[in-house]
Amino acid sequence: MMEEGSGGGRSNYNRMNDAKNERRVGLIYDQRMCQHRTPYGDDHPEKPDRITVIWNKLELAGIPQRCVILNAKEAKDEYICAVHSKNHVNLIRNISSKEYSKRNRIASKLNSIYLNEGSSESAYLAAGSVIEVAEKVAKGELNSAFAIVRPPGHHAEYDEAMGFCLFNNIAIAASFLLDQRPELGINKILIVDWDVHHGNGTQKTFWSDPRVLFFSVHRHEFGRFYPANFDGFYTMVGEGPGAGYNINVPWENGRCGDADYLAVWDHVLVPVAKEFNPDIILVSAGFDAAVGDPLGGCRLTPHGYSVLLKKLMDFAQGRIVLALEGGYNLDSLANSALACMEVLLEDKPISELSEAYPFESTWRVIQAVRQMLSAYWPTLADKLPTKLTDQKAPPHILLSSSESDDEDDDASKIISKDLVQAVEDVVEPILNLKIEDYHGNEVKNEVNSALWRSKLSKTDIWYAGFGSNMWKSRFLCYIEGGQVIGMKKLCSGSVDRNPPKETRWKTFPHRLFFGRDFTQTWGPGGVAFLDPRSNSEDKAYMCLYKITLEQFNDVLLQENVPDHDMNSPLFDLNALDSILNEGSIPVEAVKRGWYHNVVYLGMEDDIPILTMTCPLSAMESFKSGEIPLCAPSKDYADTLVRGLVEGKQLSEEEATTYIQVASTKPL
């Protein structure tokens, strides 16, 4: 063991490695970082055992004896202040000396944070340790290194601790190399964040900095997975000089495994890394995407991690620093960390992954990421061949499970979408049984969701857009996800992201008007509504999109209550039959929304035309003034004008007049 310090009280070995050509790999572990723990001694996913199990696993494998063991050092305030505010640094420095009750009050105001008398020292040691190994690797004293640290860091923002993270360890180290040690010649840093959660803090630190290429692959689920916002969506690419240097690959679902991650490496990360040509690579090495992790729900194996890391070794002359982030299944955590250390030591050849295919959703995300970034990285401009993207795993429907975390044990028994129809009669009675995944969670709802989606995907309807959805680019946000100019928030998109099969225009005898005075999507100003009652004196232009009834359900959801659980359809085949006679059906499941009233407008090519607007009761509230009528903002009105002009229905002047009349004419 090549040691440069005690590493927290372990015995010294002074012998140098006999193999001169063996890579010099640094390792930091210090038991003092175990002093950060819950104040009441409660069990918690981010617990001291996380780093001790890694160290014990490495020791059993004889890894430390082959490494350069470094001392953990506390980071200096000046280095931390390059990433965090002075107030935040002062808070973390002094938090452990505060009274017990005051410390707990502070923690209770933060997002997923606990604090105790050992938190300050642990946070400073974690940040300092990553700086220490990064500097050694940058100097060439080490080829690579692993900092086994806690608390983790990638969620910590400029002025806020969150998500178990106090200081942003990896961002502090990157800033140190770029700004404090220019003589080392580190001008370009690639940060790879493979933690299952988005590295929001790291992203914000380097948002406009072209010296850092930040890459994060994470479970996102359209903003429903922690940290539960759209910062991790693929449209977030950086700004100013940093535009294009922020890459997010947001998984739409859990259970992504080796094949999914490898596809992202091969078709996004590796091509861009070749163009970027980093001087060093820093890895936010969270292992909570590993098999069996209670928080992550993904399926990366230790071998999968080793393949991903091996591919990174081809860049920056193999100068790589791993800094521990998440990972909460202790067995998977230790096994994955060992697999990565064996790669850094070039212990054995790494074989490619066995024949397995990514999910269809993975290819969809990869293609969206490539398209979004192609303006910045020409290597991503080419469309992936259909022959490649057709190689996909069946939809992720869990029908049974195993409690085993063995990497070779396929706990997820999967059936293809093509078989759903054939097994519906068998599966539907089973839905009344309690079926659990490998964490003991019920998966009945997931099977149910796949079944109704399969059924409704076979039925087409015309969706009639009368407001901003008249502009096709805006409507596609509800299908493909994203946003257009003027929108203040992203749309999550539909599960089925295929574009409308056809687009047409028609006019209908209904009154268009503008009401409400603020929306989260558009900000101040009114938005379009349609009087659900027809009137021969009224005329409303509408753009008709031929989509599936499944997609219509997703549009209905996004127009109303985006956080509603879609274990069952909002508007099913029975509702479709009923509306032909009833004319309109208020959807109770999303009645909090403003557009929960589905209205039948007639037939086009024997396919029903549906739109969504306010219920009749709201019309009375608009008339009485209880709900305000309000002219649209310029940004919102411009989307209607674009739709009408691009749809060749009206000239720009005529479209502007049409909107002005609709917003001023009394109800």
Residues catalogued as catalytic: 155
Query: Is beta strand 523-524 parallel, antiparallel or unpaired with respect to 518-519?
Result: antiparallel
Q: Is the peptide bond before 250 cis (omega within 30 degrees of 0)?
A: no
Looking up tokens 């098999």, which residue turns up? 291
Cβ neighbors of 88 (< 8 A, separation 6 or more) are 158, 159, 160, 161
Which tokens is 424 given? Answer: 């519906």
Which tokens is 371 given? Answer: 């398209």
Which tokens is 377 given? Answer: 């990285």
Q: Which amino acid is at 39?
A: P
Is the separation of the CB atoms in 33 and 72 below 8 Å? yes
Nearest partner of 259 among 108, 373, 414, judged by Cα: 414
Which tokens is 542 given? Answer: 């509408």
Looking up tokens 């099977």, which residue turns up? 447
SS3 134: helix
Cβ neighbors of 520 (< 8 A, separation 6 or more) are 488, 489
Nearest partner of 350 among 256, 255, 258, judged by Cα: 258
Cα–Cα distance between 53 and 38 in angstroms, integer?
Answer: 18
**Can you give the three-state secondary structure of 604-665, one letter per residue?**
ECCEEEEEEECCHHHHHHHHHCCCCECCECHHHHHHHHHHHHHCCCCCHHHHHHHHHHHHHC
Give the Å distances, CA to CA, from 114 to 229, 472, 595: 22, 47, 41
Which tokens is 39 given? Answer: 């104040």
Looking up tokens 């009652």, which residue turns up? 533
Q: Can you give the C-alpha Rg of the chain in angstroms?
A: 28
In 345-397, which ranges are continuous DSSP H helix?
360-373, 386-389
Q: Which amino acid is at 620?
A: E
Task: Tally helices (H) and strands (E) across the chain.
Answer: 21, 19
